[in-house]
């Protein structure tokens, strides 16, 4: 008789522990998701000055750990993310986009396309980012999409499949003016090309 109540108590404790773990992990993930959406956006680009700095709190650090593996410190690199185009529509890999703007002030810079799982798109072209090699006369233009564009010359970033798309603009060793006031950086426009099915 004494074995049955002990088993019920143990089962109750295990169920309570499992519920606590699920609720704790769920609330942490929900907080991270909300925090990632609360960053200030400009023309579809998100920038958080706390990333890579001593001012980064636990949620900012957790966001970087989840989505920015191998991210460098703020004194070396600055990052902007775009999950939407300039009009606010979510970016999709099956669609074509033009990313164009002035060459950013930095020793080295790049624009890369990531899938919504925070990994680069596997592609036969072996192209994952463009930088100075996409620039002419102080400006650059990059096209994303699942198929190579017909018009040449074009810097093309392959984005196969049908999933969320995240663009990352990186500035390595940014100019002093950009490091001082990141929000003054002229950001590239992200515009859809044609209709997206």
Q: What is the pLDDT of residues 16-61, one digit of tens each?
A: 777 666 665 555 544 444 444 445 566 788 876 555 555 555 655 5
* Average pLDDT rounded to a whole number, residues 151-176: 90
Residue 157 has pLDDT above 70, yes or no: yes
CA distances from 107 to 62, 111, 158, 175 (A): 28, 14, 25, 7
Contacts of 153 (CB under 8 A, 6+ apart): none
Average pLDDT value over all residues in the chain: 79
Residue 128 phi/psi, 5-degree rounding, is -125, -15
Residue 89 has pLDDT above 50, yes or no: yes
Quickly count: other Cβ atoms within 10 Å of residue 107's Cβ.
10
**Could you tell me what percentage of the chain is helix, strand and coil, using 3-state DSSP and rounding each to the nearest 5?**
30, 30, 40
Quickly count: other Cβ atoms within 10 Å of residue 69's Cβ.
9
């Amino acid at each position: 008789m004494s074995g049955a109540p002990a088993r019920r108590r143990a089962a109750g404790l295990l169920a309570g522990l499992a519920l606590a773990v699920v609720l704790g992990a769920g609330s942490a993930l929900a907080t991270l998701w909300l925090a990632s959406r609360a960053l200030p956006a400009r023309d579809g680009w998100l920038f958080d000055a706390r990333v890579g700095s001593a001012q980064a709190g636990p949620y900012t650090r957790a966001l970087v750990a989840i989505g920015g593996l191998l991210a460098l410190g703020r004194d070396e690199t600055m990052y902007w993310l775009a999950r939407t185009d300039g009009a606010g529509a979510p970016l999709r890999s099956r669609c074509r986009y033009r990313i164009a703007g002035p060459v950013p002030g930095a020793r080295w810079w790049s624009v890369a396309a990531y899938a919504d799982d925070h990994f680069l798109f596997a592609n036969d072209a072996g192209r994952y980012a463009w930088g100075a090699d996409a620039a002419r006369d102080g400006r650059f233009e990059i096209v994303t999409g699942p198929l190579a564009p017909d018009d040449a010359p074009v810097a093309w970033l392959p984005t196969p499949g049908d999933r969320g798309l995240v663009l990352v603009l990186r500035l390595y060793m940014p100019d002093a003016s950009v490091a001082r006031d990141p929000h003054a950086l002229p950001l590239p426009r992200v515009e859809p090309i044609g209709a997206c099915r």
